[in-house]
A and B are shown apart, each in its own frame.
Chain A
Amino acid sequence: MPAALRIAGKDLKLRARDRSVFIIGIGAPLLLAFIFDLIFGGAFGAGGLTLEYGLVDEDRSEVSSAFSSVLDDLQDQQILTIQTFPDTDSARSAVEDGDLDAFFLIEAGFGQEVAIGSPQIGVVGDIDAPTATQIAGAIADQFSTGVEATKLAILTTAGVAGVPPTPEFITSLEGDPSSAAFTFQLTDESAATRQLDSTTYYAVGMAIFFMFFTVQFGVIGLLEEEREGTLTRLFAAPISRWSVVLGKAILSFALGFVSMSVLVIATSLLMGADWGPPLGVILLVLAAVAAGTGLMGMVASFARTPEGAGNLGAIIAVTLGLLGGVFFPLGQGEDLLSKLSLITPHAWFIRGLSDIAGGAAWTAAIPSTLALLGFAMVTGTLGWMLMRRRLRR
């Protein structure tokens, strides 16, 4: 058996006796994923949030009726429930009693105001249901935007035709302009927008987050050998120095892979997480563990003591974890945070799993896998070079 494997085997025995590797590698991430899912699952989950709304229509115009029918459609699609209230007070009471998350208020004159201004639909929400209230606000805003767009389209068409925008002219246009404006397109965009369900999200987040701590057990072992004096004996043995370093890297990789594999299986069986096609998951896990091993190896090569490496590694793991969105989902748009997140292996890992979670083929994981392997190459090479300088002494 090659010396590197013997060294990795010896370290594995030591770590198994230490037991902390099981706590950090499996126990803590499993527990935290479960807790995070309990806390945030409803807010971010696709099916966990119930939206209970009311509607107060003081306007009773054609336009307000259109909004009402939009809400009815959403109710038919089981996205929300809607109750109609005769006045604001009764709706407000229902909100205060916790029977509603929020209600829409269409004030009298809303329909008339459409022609001359930019009317808004009011939303009154329960302070204890901020997410549901925000969603209600978004629905109201989208309706108002649609009204504005329709108004602009009619005025432009009338202007081009050289006629005033009379009701007769409007009805002469093909179709019903108001209903066209108020149509909501509700489609399942989970694959297109790369969204994991909350349970899977936190399982994935905690797995990658704690993996960086788990792989540390291997690479820090080199510094522990140095401190304990056993590195002297290893270097005096008839083996290559690099087999010692390689042994540590092998252990790091093995611990990281086993830890993540156990978490994939455990969260799937115990929490119902859906990681996606196995081949894609395996690719991403292998690449992520390689990236983690490379990064933590580089960190260890900077440190002077095992404790120093542990502290530095923890700071980097937490920072990258936050930035990479393991605790809170980050958008994947053009904002600065989204762009910054791409410097972390965490974000690429989550992105890769999101890519394959929506029913896509395992090949959808390839771009993220390549990005993670890129991390592994760069950090691993840097760590190797730094460690080489150090071990030459």
Chain B
Amino acid sequence: MPEVLIATDLAKRFGDLVAVDGVSFSIGEGETFGLLGPNGAGKTTSISMIVGLLERDGGTVEIDGEQISTRSTRGKASIGLVPQDLAIYPDLTATENLRFFGRLYGLDSNTLDTRVDEVLDVIGLSDRAGDLTKEFSGGMKRRLNIGIGLLHRPRLLILDEPTVGVDPQSRNAILESVESLSGEGMAVLYTTHYMEEAERLCDRVAIIDEGRIKAEGSRRELVSLVGQKDRVSITGDVTDAVGSVSSIPGVSEVSAGDHRLDILINDAGSILPELLARVTSSGGNITGVEIVEPNLEAVFLHLTGKALRD
């Protein structure tokens, strides 16, 4: 998988405050990479340096083989930025907003016409294309904010907390849009402080706090890093199956309660069929099964000693 973004040793200070300290990561083609961390962790500062908005105190950024700085213009054409705050003109229509930014990215008239229609369709605003955006709901503005970032088919799309302040329905629409992007071969850098968004969207996640990356990897890699296991709870007349279940390889702990078995296991998904078969063959009558996988919240807590919070 060719790498689209390579960020190496990014550093930034604001006076005495070290905002970003040696942040390095890379993102491959078609990959969605998450920066997960609380507010003030250094996510937006890192993004600002990657996009060339902010001068770096140290480190390098390479996008599609082009070095990026505040002065570079060529490499920036490969980036689509969706800033955390809305960045649209309220007194222009959705189409006018798209066309203006499309022109700045060098799209010719024919391409622009096609892409504006496509993007409006993707973000679900085709029927409001001619309306001034100041008349839009918050969710519609958010979607247009994303649409502008997508317009020129960037190699790298950077979304900086795109769902902050968005209603659940629009939030889901945004997440679905992002999920579809990696399928188009676009590299996506997604920052969030919502653990569930990182888990749902990202192939790999870097946990960032106090300007430093604490850990990086797939969700399972991160979870295993801190020794967390899946918990499977089976309810019904199942307590007689304790012995049979305990002997399954990978099961580390089994506890029986009132019509309930709680099993700690390394990878519930792969062992679950055998687990259920053992319970059934032991004469058990299963009325319910619940799997609780360890989440990134727990990983973050383990790594930083604090909870993810707004």
Contacts and interface: CB of A to CB of B under 8 A. Distances in A.
Given A10-B92, A18-B91, A230-B88, A236 B52 contact: yes
Q: Indicate the member of B86, B90, B92, B101 with the most A CB atoms within 10 Å.
A: B101
User: Is the contact region of chain A dominated by helix, strand, or loop, or is it mixed?
Assistant: helix
A3 B91 contact: no
A13 interface: yes
B92 A14 contact: yes
Given A237-B104, A238-B76, A393-B54, A232 B83 contact: yes
B92 A238 contact: no
A38 to B, nearest CB: 37
Contacts of A390: none
Contacts of A13: 92, 96
A3 B51 CA distance: 19
A38 B101 CA distance: 49
Contact of A229 (B73, B74, B77, B85): B85
Interface string A208-240: 000000000000000000001110111111111
A6 B104 contact: yes
Contact of A237 (B76, B85, B92): B76
B109 to A, nearest CB: 11
Interface in B40-71: 51-55, 70-71
Contacts of B71: 240-241
B39 to A, nearest CB: 17
Interface size bucket, B side? Answer: 20 to 34
Given A3-B104, A238-B104, A393 B55 contact: yes
B148 interface: yes
A1 B106 CA distance: 10
A6 B76 contact: no
A233 B158 CA distance: 12
A83 B305 CA distance: 104
A238 B88 contact: no
Contacts of A18: 91
B81 interface: yes
Chain A, interface residues (CB within 8 Å), range:
20 to 34
B77 A238 contact: yes
A14 B133 CA distance: 13
Contacts of B74: 238
A232 B84 CA distance: 10
Contacts of A240: 71, 73
A389 interface: no
A238 B55 contact: no
Contacts of A234: 104
A235 B105 contact: no
Contact of B53 (A3, A230, A232): A232
A236 B91 contact: no
B104 A230 contact: no
B7 to A, nearest CB: 16
Interface string B131-145: 000000000000000
A240 B74 CA distance: 10
A96 B75 CA distance: 85
Contacts of A237: 76, 101, 104-105
B103 interface: yes
Contacts of B222: none
A299 B183 CA distance: 49
Contacts of B92: 10, 13-14
B105 A229 contact: no
Nearest to B148: A233
B87 interface: yes
A237 B107 CA distance: 12
B53 A235 contact: yes
Contacts of B77: 238
Interface string A4-15: 001000100110
30 contacts: A3-B104, A10-B100, A13-B92, A13-B96, A14-B89, A14-B91, A14-B92, A17-B91, A228-B87, A228-B89, A228-B90, A230-B89, A232-B53, A232-B81, A232-B83, A232-B85, A233-B83, A233-B101, A233-B148, A235-B52, A235-B70, A236-B53, A236-B81, A238-B73, A238-B77, A239-B73, A240-B71, A241-B71, A392-B55, A393-B55
Given A229-B85, A229-B86, A233-B83, 7 more contacts: A6-B100, A6-B103, A13-B96, A236-B53, A236-B83, A238-B106, A393-B54
